[in-house]
Structure 1
């Protein structure tokens, strides 16, 4: 089979004679029909391989949709021939086949195209990230890339009374309006402008993952408010915070990570129900912007790499914001 591997910093290699992997106990072999490029993890692994230890440990190409080819011993939730989406596989989705643990596989409804279905990898993540949003909350989502937009939809589904979308880019904020934002605030990324978004939010979600955006969320929330770390801190792995402010406000905080299989299974079960019963409300068609063949993965990475978020916070960068008019790029084997 064909497979792209990340073999060095900014170096990916296509092989066309790789053996098809064999699923082990509680594992599933999926014929990949689409794999979307992760705007944060995949790009950070690509640009920081060898510079950040974790960039050689994560799975490059982890947002998959496809058809179950074979199941390993003990698998009961899915069957061969079933359409599925995958969160965090064991092998790359930039290939003809990929292996994933059963707990990371969800049922993909027939009505959702594979290219859009791969985006559903973000759904259990957003479900878990918004677990602290309650009925009537005022929620600010800082960063309107794909994961921020998915968090916006999940906050709405949980009954948030007011949703404020914050981003550097007017085009992305237009997408936010289409996905249900009540208010949109364009900022330049500086701490001053972010602080000007307001205060008194019940929940502030950092969907970018930089020191500036995390600390801005601290300022946005009310006393005893909730700060959610959704954007992954792949580039600035160490963040300085003002603990006096955190203590004075009595803030609550949680991340989006699912630390146990129980949490993963719970978030996946909710994501499967939403995909089956409320797919239209997810507006996946507004998040998918490009579809390319597997051989054009280098072009997809180049397209998405025109992003300020790939450079350390506060350091000079050749880009002022996100790549223009690009959200999700699907790779189709």
Structure 2
């Protein structure tokens, strides 16, 4: 089969004769129909391979939609021929086939095209990240990339009374309003811009993953408020925080990570139900902005790499924000 491999920093190579993986117990082999590029992890792995230890251990190409080809012993939730999306596979989705654990595979509605279905990999993440949002909460979402927009949708579905979106890019913020934001604020990336005068939030969600955005969320929330770490800190892996402020405010904090299989199964189950019953409300067509063939993966990586978030905080970067008019990019084998 054809498969792209990340072999070094900014070095991906197409293997046209790679072996098709065989599923073991509780594993599923997927015929890949689309794999979207993760705007955070895939790009960080690509740019920081060899510079950050974790960038050589994660799966490059993990947002997959396709059809079950073969199931391993013990698999009961999916069957061959079934349309599925995958939350964190065992092998890359930039290939004709990919391997995944059964617990990471969700049923894909027939009405959702594969290119949009691959984006559903983000939905369990947004579900788990917003688990602390309660009816009537005032919620700030910092960062309006694909996962930030889905977190906004989940906060709205959970009954938030007011949602405010922050981003560098006015084009993304225009989408935020359609996704359910009551207010939007374009910021310049500095700490002073990440605030809403007079506002006090119950929950602040960092959907970017930088020291600036995390500390902004601390400032945004009220006493005993909740700070959610949704964006992964791939670039600045060590973040300095003012613990006196955290103690004075008595803040609560949780991440979007699903640390055990029970959490993964719960989040995936909720995402499956939403994908089937609230499909239109997820606004998946608006999240997909580009589609490329597998052989064009280098072109897709080049497009998405024009992003300020790929550079450490405080370092001069050649870009002021995210790529223009770009959210999710799908790769089709």
**TM bucket normalised to smaller:** over 0.9
* Cα distance between partner residues in 2 of 1:35 and 1:4: 12
* Cα distance between partner residues in 2 of 1:304 and 1:175: 19
- Which residue of 1 is the match for residue 41 of structure 2? 41
3-state SS of 1:296 partner: helix
Measured on the aligned residues, the alpha-carbon RMSD in Å equals 0.7
3-state SS of 1:54 partner: helix
- 1:170 is the counterpart of 2:174: no
- Which residue of 1 is the match for residue 179 of structure 2? 179
- Which residue of 1 is the match for residue 120 of structure 2? 120
Range with greater deviation from structure 2 (190-199 or 175-184): 190-199
- Which residue of 2 is the match for residue 311 of structure 1? 311
User: Structure 2 matches for 1:219-238, cutoff 5 A?
Assistant: 219-238=219-238
* Cα distance between partner residues in 2 of 1:129 and 1:176: 18
Q: CA, structure 1 residues 194+187, in 2 after alignment: closer, same or farther (shift >3 Å)?
A: same
**1:4-54 deviation line (CA, Å, top 9, x unaligned):** 000000000001101111000000000000000000000000000000000
Q: How many aligned residue pairs are there?
A: 333
**1:127-182 deviation line (CA, Å, top 9, x unaligned):** 00000000000000000000000100000110111110100000000111111111
- Which residue of 2 is the match for residue 261 of structure 1? 261
Gaps of 5+ in 1: none
C-alpha deviation, 1:199, in angstroms: 3.9
3-state SS of 1:13 partner: strand
* Cα distance between partner residues in 1 of 2:99 and 2:178: 35
CA contact (8 A) 1:185 1:197 kept: no
- Which residue of 1 is the match for residue 60 of structure 2? 60
TM-score (norm 1): 0.99
- 1:74 is the counterpart of 2:74: yes
Q: CA, structure 1 residues 197+255, in 2 after alignment: closer, same or farther (shift >3 Å)?
A: farther
- Which residue of 2 is the match for residue 284 of structure 1? 284
- 1:86 is the counterpart of 2:86: yes
